[in-house]
Structure 1
């Protein structure tokens, strides 16, 4: 063996930061042999993985997020929420299919299909597994072949539904389910791109009179707007996290770090604001509790001045992604709390 011969083993990517995990360059795509499954011709598959095992540093950053993603269908069914979807977001305005020309036309998919698919997934057993998988796959086929909506709520609901379908199938022990989920990844990416114009990545709570406005019955829509905006902000980040970590586990290469998750972003860390159930509760939390605007994964202010009770589940997902699970647990413990 010649000492100067180039190594045939590729250098593993850099896992020093969450940005490196989440800003993966897409692997060149190739046409699949079974695009007819969804009735479309332009779905592509990623190349085969080259790094099937992750370094311990990477596992420390993503394992908590994986656990929460796996739990998302259960959370949606039992609690009507996820860490990125506010429990009151669809309370009075569940997106539905529209009708036209005298027959049903699926222009805007029914997000209830994703909700009911989660319930079916939780009820799956050896006897009904094949039937439930078939139902879920047919619903995925409908959503990814339907027209992309253009209203803010419908765009957000489409991404939420696709995330739920992907969490059901990506973490399934059935190889065919995981393969089908991989086929649908470009559709999730496209839905996220369509949502981006409706996502407000600004400090929308910087108004000096915001507490007074929330207390006014005429300003109830201000809180509803925040619920949508914060759900959209979190959903954009979580979608990026899900797709990029999946690519990471496949062994995709070409990582680089831009410290922005691919785009400038922000969201609020404040469990009190997120868990408020009315404009009044939100106004009280705004006036009396701390809140931290996390921009481009900069947790400095939170780590110095924050308390464990300020951090909700989404904050934990992103905090562990940035620091690693051990460091996040140490921060909680140093303030007298369990992670």
Structure 2
């Protein structure tokens, strides 16, 4: 009988890093690109044992995966009745331009070899002034580099170089008013400074639909309807937090689903914390730990995601966007990178807004708040409002002197080194509550 060819196993560096391996010989593509010593495990010699009918393969159990839950009401368009084992994935509309095959393959590997989950405790990383140059246009353009927004250090929690207790200098009440304006913009214009207009435009989960309609009613409240709307927000928040199911692990859809439930619960908590009766405020305050937990789970899910499974990231290809013969492939690549940025930047801005909002409430009520660290976000003018992948891509490749990503709560080095015209309004708004509106206005006025 002819020998059955053995299935080639992943190389040792890819297996240890829990990354996909193309299993090419003499070396896989990933090892070549990362200049690693590619070596494959030696196959075991099979020995016929009459007493053993089958050979058992051990599945590693050293990894630990955190249980991720989604509200029972978090259904998606076209997936009614689906569950964790149905094999039916959310219909993400324009997001399915990103290859579904790559997503499924990546998480099939993770199901066999569970990834190590890093601690949720932030690592105190200090950002010197010169660190801004790490996330500039030159770095984005290098063929062998990862896009600026997916680099590992952009997902770390950072702490101020001084003031270890992280006592905030945010001007509290005006900040809460601006957050309310952001939510009003979302239900009026379909987008806000932390919910991108492309995020839910072709596939809004049911839980987000409920939150959207609740805040739309709240934005148009009258004295006669206010209490009814607050009761609706309270009931929906309770349902959202109490009825949960385990989602199917499905790559980018998992990140999207985490973001959806965080947005939903935040809407309900925000309404009741700052415009409700004592009873409503107390009910919302009891859900703050749940909201923080979901926020942390969302962040960890993004951090551990294997971005190398997307062709544009794996191949390190950066489109030229100017050669007509390459237009279609350039467009597909630019669109994939743009959509990944929309998702991750929405996660960053959502984390930033919710964390500061909850800290502000705690300071207003108990006089202090524990600081979990602050995140980086994209601040270059025009990127958030870009209406196409090509426009976004060209803005990223703009002035190499202008930073792409900046720290959210330590704007002083940025203000000292750069012009205000290089940053979008969201950055100026956030920083105005950190260093003061007068200082930001003076920074803006220097160009007039």
SS at match of 2:442: helix
> Which stretch shows the higher mean deviation, 147-156 or 237-246?
147-156
User: Could you say what secondary structure the match of 1:87 adopts?
Assistant: coil
Aligned twin of 2:274: 171
- Deviation at 1:67? 1.9
Equivalent in the alignment of 2:202: 92
SS state at 2:171 partner: helix
1:228 matches 2:343? yes
Quick one: structure 1 residues 168 and 244, their matched pair in 2 at CA, closer, same or farther if it must change by over 3 Å? same
1:315 is aligned, of 424, 427, 444, to 427
In 1, the alpha carbon distance for the partners of 2:237 and 2:286 equals 11
Q: 1:306 to 1:188 in 2, by over 3 A?
A: same
Aligned partner of residue 335 in structure 1, secondary structure: coil
- 1:190-209 Cα distance to aligned partner (Å, 9 max, x none): 111111113359xx999996
Q: Measured at CA, do residues 335 and 186 of structure 1 come closer, stay the same or move farther in structure 2, by a change above 3 Å?
A: same
Shift of 1:63: 4.0
> TM-score with structure 2 length normalisation?
0.53
Within 2, Cα distance between the matches of 1:296 and 1:271? 15
Deviations 1:302-335 (A, max 9, x none): 3244333333343124312331222122211222
Distance 1:88 1:19 in 2: 37
Q: In 1, distance between residues paired with 2:435 and 2:245? A: 36
Map Cα deviations across residues 74-127 of structure 1 (whole Å, 9 max, x no partner). Answer: 11111222211111111223224xxxxxxxxxxxxx210000001110221122
**Structure 1: which 5+ runs fail to align?**
1-15, 23-57, 97-109, 256-260
Conserved? CA contact 1:72–1:164, under 8 Å: no
Q: Partner of 2:211 in structure 1?
A: 114
1:294 matched to which residue of 2?
406
Equivalent in the alignment of 2:381: 271
Q: Tell me which of 204, 217, 238 is aligned to 2:331.
A: 217
TM normalised by structure 1 equals: 0.68
Residue 126 (structure 1) aligned with residue 236 (structure 2): no
Deviation at 1:143, TM superposition (A): 1.0
Q: Check conservation: 2:259, 2:347, Cα contact below 8 A.
A: yes
Contact 1:266 1:294 (C-alpha < 8 Å) held by counterparts: yes
Pairs aligned (count): 266
Q: Counterpart in 2 of 1:4?
A: none
What is the deviation of 1:276?
0.7
Matched, 1:71 2:168: no
Give the whole-Å Cα distance in 2 for the aligned partners of 1:273 and 1:173. Answer: 36
